[in-house]
A and B are shown apart, each in its own frame.
Chain A
Amino acid sequence: MSVTGLRRVAVTGLGPVTPIGTGAAAFAEAQRAGRSGISTITHFDPSDVASKIAGQVDDDLSAFVDPREARKLDRYVQLALAAAELAVRDSGLTGEELRGERTGAVIGSGIGGVKTFEDQAGVLHSRGPGRISPMFIPMMIANMATGHVAMRYGATGPSSTVVTACATGTGSVGDAARYIQLGLADVMLAGGTEAAVTPIAVGGFANMKALSTRNDAPQEASRPFSASRDGFVLGEGAGVVVLEEYEKAKARGATIYAEIVGYGTSADAHHITLPAPEGRGAQVAMRMALATAGVNPEQVGYVNAHGTSTHFNDLHETQGIKHVFGAHAHELAVSSTKSMTGHLLGAAGAVEAIAVAQALHDGILPPTINLTDPDPLLDLDYIPEGAREQQVEYVLSNSFAFGGQNAALLFRRA
C-alpha cells in the first residue's frame, strides 16, 4: 500500500512508436541526441495546405501487424498494435500472464480513424451512401485501438477509451493506473495513438492557424518556449506502457522504470481552444496530481511540459507552473519533448509518459531543442543546452487539450 491507501503502480514496459524512433532504445537515444523527427510531409501532397511539415513514422509496421490484417485497420490502430507489442515484449510478460480479466486496456485517440473517414467521405460524395465500405465504422471509430489490443492479448479486464484531444495519452495512462490502484486490475496496457497526417486533418488544424508554417526549416519548426515559435507541428505515432501492480511486478523481478503516484484532471471551462489565463485549469490538474500522491511541489525535480510551441500554450503553461510551484519553479527543470517529436495529439501524453519513465530510470532529462531565442516572458529552465544527466525523484507530466481539458501525471523514481 502507498501512503494514500491505494495499491502502487509500476511502469514495467515501454512501447514508443514515434517520429524520432520506434522501440524504447531508439526513442531514448534520439532524445539524448536531441534529434528532430520533423520533415516535409510525404503521406500526401501538401502543396495546398499552409503547413507542409509533420512528424511521420517511417518505420515498417509489418513486423507487428500482418499486412493482410492491416488492410482492415486504420493506421491509428496499426500504430497502437505496434506500440502495445513493443511494450509487452519490453515488460517480459508472457501471453499466459496477460490473458484474462486481471488485465485491461485503455488506449485512447484524439480523433480515431480520420484517414478512413476521409476516404469514405470521398466514396459518399462520388458514389453515394450505398457504396460505403462495411468496414468503415469498425475501422474509423475511436475505441478500436483499445478493442484490438484487448483482442490480441485476451485482456478481458477493465476497458475504456479516453478521447480528450491532446490530453488523451495522459488521461489514458492515468485512468489505467487508477484501475490498478483500486484493485480492479493487476496489469493495464495504457496509452494513446494518432494517425492524423492526412489532408483533412492538416487542413483543419492549419486553417485554425494552430500549425507552424516554418516549411523551409522543418527540423527547427517545433520550438517550444522560443520567441519565434509560430504554432505546433503535427506528429503521428503511438505510445503504450505496461502498468502493473507494484508488488507483483517486484515479485516477478520485472524492470520497474518508474512508479505512477499521482494523477489529476480538470477543465478550464473557458474556451474551445484558448487556454485559461495564467493556466488556471492546468493548475488544478497539476495540484490534483500532487495532492493525490501527498507530494509537495518542492519534491518535484522535472516537469515534462505540454510545451506545444504555440504562443498561448507555452505562455499560460509557464504561468501555471509558476503558480503551482512558486519560487521552486525556478529550481525545476522543464522541457518539451514535442520539440523533437512534434505534437502527437492523442498519443502525445503516452509518448511523454515513456520519456518520463526513461528520464527517471536512466537519470537523463530530455532537452527542449531549438530554444535558441528564448521568449523573455518565459524564464524557466527549459533544458535548452541538450539532454542533461540529472537524477530526480519526482516528475510531473502535463497535457492540455482543445475543449479545455487538462491532465497531469506524477511519477516517482523506482
Chain B
Amino acid sequence: MATFEDVKDVIVEKLGVDADKVTPEARFVEDLGADSLETVELIMGLEDRFGITISDEDAEQIRTVQAAIDYIGSQQ
C-alpha cells in the first residue's frame, strides 16, 4: 500500500520541491511546477518505487498527489 509519505518522497526527489508543498490536493503542474519532462520523470520514479507499470493513458489522468496514491493502491 502506497502511503502519502512514500509518494511524497518520490515527488520531492523528482520535482525538487519543498516537502511542505506536497499536499494530497497539490497538482503536479499547476501547484508543484512540473514541466512535461519532469512529469515523465515523476511517473518513472513512481513505477520504480512501487514496482508497477503506468501506461501513458493512465499517466495523463494522474494530475494530483492524491490521484497518484489512489492509482498506485489500485495497481498493487
A residues near B (Cβ < 8 Å) are 68-69, 71-72, 131, 133-135, 138
The 8 A CB mask of B1-19 against A (1 = contact, 0 = none) is 0000000000000001100
Q: Are A131 and B44 in contact (CB under 8 A)?
A: yes
Nearest Cβ on chain A to B35's Cβ, whole angstroms: 10
Dominant SS among interface residues on chain B? helix
How distant is the Cα of A131 from the Cα of B44 in the complex, in angstroms? 8
Residue of B16, B37, B44, B48 touching A71 (CB-CB under 8 A): B16
How distant is the Cα of A68 from the Cα of B17 in the complex, in angstroms? 8
Q: Are A133 and B44 in contact (CB under 8 A)?
A: yes
Q: Is B40 an interface residue (CB 8 A)?
A: yes
Count, A-B residue pairs, CB within 8 A: 16
B residues near A (Cβ < 8 Å) are 16-17, 37, 40-41, 44, 48
How distant is the Cα of A31 from the Cα of B28 in the complex, in angstroms? 49
Q: Which 3 residue pairs across A and B have the least CB separation, nearest first?
A: A68-B16, A134-B40, A134-B37
Q: Are A134 and B41 in contact (CB under 8 A)?
A: yes
Across-interface contacts of A134 in B (CB, < 8 A): 37, 40-41, 44
| A127 nearest CB neighbor, chain B only | B48
| B37 nearest CB neighbor, chain A only | A134
| B16 nearest CB neighbor, chain A only | A68
Across-interface contacts of B41 in A (CB, < 8 A): 133-135
Told that A133-B41, A134-B40, A134-B41 touch, could you supply 8 new A-B pairs with CB distance under 8 A?
A68-B16, A71-B16, A131-B44, A133-B44, A134-B37, A134-B44, A135-B37, A135-B41
How distant is the Cα of A138 from the Cα of B35 in the complex, in angstroms? 13
How distant is the Cα of A331 from the Cα of B51 in the complex, in angstroms? 71
| A133 nearest CB neighbor, chain B only | B41
How distant is the Cα of A72 from the Cα of B40 in the complex, in angstroms? 13
How distant is the Cα of A99 from the Cα of B44 in the complex, in angstroms? 37
| B17 nearest CB neighbor, chain A only | A68
Across-interface contacts of A138 in B (CB, < 8 A): 37
How distant is the Cα of A72 from the Cα of B37 in the complex, in angstroms? 11
How distant is the Cα of A133 from the Cα of B17 in the complex, in angstroms? 19
Across-interface contacts of A133 in B (CB, < 8 A): 41, 44
Nearest Cβ on chain B to A65's Cβ, whole angstroms: 12
How distant is the Cα of A71 from the Cα of B17 in the complex, in angstroms? 12
How distant is the Cα of A134 from the Cα of B15 in the complex, in angstroms? 13
Q: Which among A68, A71, A133, A134 has the greatest number of chain B C-beta atoms within 10 A?
A: A134
15 A–B contacts from the bound complex (CB under 8 Å): A68-B16, A68-B17, A69-B16, A71-B16, A72-B16, A131-B44, A131-B48, A133-B41, A133-B44, A134-B40, A134-B41, A134-B44, A135-B37, A135-B41, A138-B37
| B41 nearest CB neighbor, chain A only | A134
Nearest Cβ on chain A to B53's Cβ, whole angstroms: 10
How distant is the Cα of A134 from the Cα of B41 in the complex, in angstroms? 6
Across-interface contacts of B48 in A (CB, < 8 A): 131
Across-interface contacts of B40 in A (CB, < 8 A): 134
Across-interface contacts of A135 in B (CB, < 8 A): 37, 41
Nearest Cβ on chain B to A354's Cβ, whole angstroms: 32
Across-interface contacts of B16 in A (CB, < 8 A): 68-69, 71-72
Across-interface contacts of B37 in A (CB, < 8 A): 134-135, 138
Across-interface contacts of A71 in B (CB, < 8 A): 16
| A67 nearest CB neighbor, chain B only | B16
Nearest Cβ on chain A to B52's Cβ, whole angstroms: 14
| A66 nearest CB neighbor, chain B only | B16
How distant is the Cα of A215 from the Cα of B8 in the complex, in angstroms? 46
| B18 nearest CB neighbor, chain A only | A68
Nearest Cβ on chain A to B19's Cβ, whole angstroms: 12
Nearest Cβ on chain A to B73's Cβ, whole angstroms: 23
How distant is the Cα of A71 from the Cα of B48 in the complex, in angstroms? 18
Nearest Cβ on chain B to A342's Cβ, whole angstroms: 32
| B40 nearest CB neighbor, chain A only | A134
How distant is the Cα of A69 from the Cα of B33 in the complex, in angstroms? 13
How distant is the Cα of A72 from the Cα of B41 in the complex, in angstroms? 11
